[in-house]
Amino acid sequence: MQWDAAKYRQFGDYRDRPFFDLTARIRAEAPRRVVDLGCGPGNLTATLAARWPGAAVEGVDSSAEMLEKAETVAGGNLGFRQADIADWMPAPDTDVVVTNAALQWVPGHRQLLAGWLEALPAGAWFALQVPGNFDAPSHALMRELAASPEWSGRLSGVLRHDDVVGEPADYLQLMLDAGCDADAWETTYLQLLQGPDPVLEWVRGTGLRPVLAALPAEEARSFEADYARLLRRAYPAGRHGTIFPFRRVFAVAQKRG
């Protein structure tokens, strides 16, 4: 599945805010190595390099398209590497790990998280954020349309839903079981989107990607047209724009000594 870095960055202010709400809870002072799992276009990874100039900061992503954009901000203590998150393990000097809106794409990531926490050195930090809106109309309507008689033959099994991400309590328990001090919470951002079909524009950069990748271009346009009609009813435009509630799940852990 290819990613469009420009489309992903289209709503940059809204996509960036959870990252800063997440990393504000990390209190590491002088980490040796900082890793951003699922770094995307690298603009947020660059803020980690600026925050900890004495650390080796590395962004990891599986998308060549995203990393091509990320290379424009590489240099100094910041570098990027193409790899599958599912194959990653922390080096012995990894003191901070951040993963922002990426683990929902990784099947079995909670089992991986347990292994990552076990491998981290004492005092290390792990901070994650995942979308918690898989039951929202934006996603439920997409799944319902994909399961309809018109589309089910071509889209069966394309959209994951059950057990894609955990609840805040799931991540908190996992981190506590791993011998960490931990904090977990959720936030629903009420995002005010502008323009025609703004929710469709939003999901084109993320949740709709598997559908677009599975269909030929003409069929993808037909699916989008049907989906857009459903979204307009679920998210009507108001006087100031279209309000799009977006729930996010956060968890931060520090491994005990």
Question: Residue 103 belongs to a domain with what CATH number?
Answer: 3.40.50.150
Per residue in 196-235, pLDDT (tens digit) is 999 999 999 888 999 999 999 999 999 999 999 999 999 9
Structural domain including 204 reads 5-255
Q: What percent of the chain has pLDDT over 70?
A: 95
**5-19, 42-56, 85-99, 117-131: the lowest-pLDDT one:** 5-19
How confident is the model at residue 162, as a pLDDT? 74
Residue 2 burial by CB count (10 A; 0-12/13-18/19+): exposed, middle or buried? exposed
Q: Taking 90 as the threshold, does the pLDDT of residue 12 lie above it?
A: no
How confident is the model at residue 201, as a pLDDT? 93
How confident is the model at residue 207, as a pLDDT? 87
What does the DSSP assignment read for the chain?
A: ----HHHHGGGHHHHHHHHHHHHTT---SS-SEEEEET-TTSHHHHHHHHH-TTSEEEEEES-HHHHHHHGGG-BTTEEEEE--GGG----TTEEEEEEES-GGGSTTHHHHHHHHHHHSPTT-EEEEEEE--TTSHHHHHHHHHHTSTTTHHHHTTTS--TTSS--HHHHHHHHHHTTEEEEEEEEEEEEEE-SSSHHHHHHHTTTTHHHHHHS-HHHHHHHHHHHHHHHHHHS--BTTBEEEEEEEEEEEEEE--
Q: Taking 80 as the threshold, does the pLDDT of residue 66 lie above it?
A: yes
**Which of the pair, 149 or 3, is modelled with greater confidence?**
149
How confident is the model at residue 8, as a pLDDT? 44
Q: How confident is the model at residue 83 (pLDDT cuts 50, 70, 90)?
A: very high
How confident is the model at residue 221, as a pLDDT? 95
Question: Does residue 36 contact residue 99 with C-beta atoms inside 8 Å?
Answer: yes
How confident is the model at residue 202, as a pLDDT? 92
Mean pLDDT, the chain, whole residue set: 94
> Looking at the 3D structure of the chain, how many domains does it have?
1
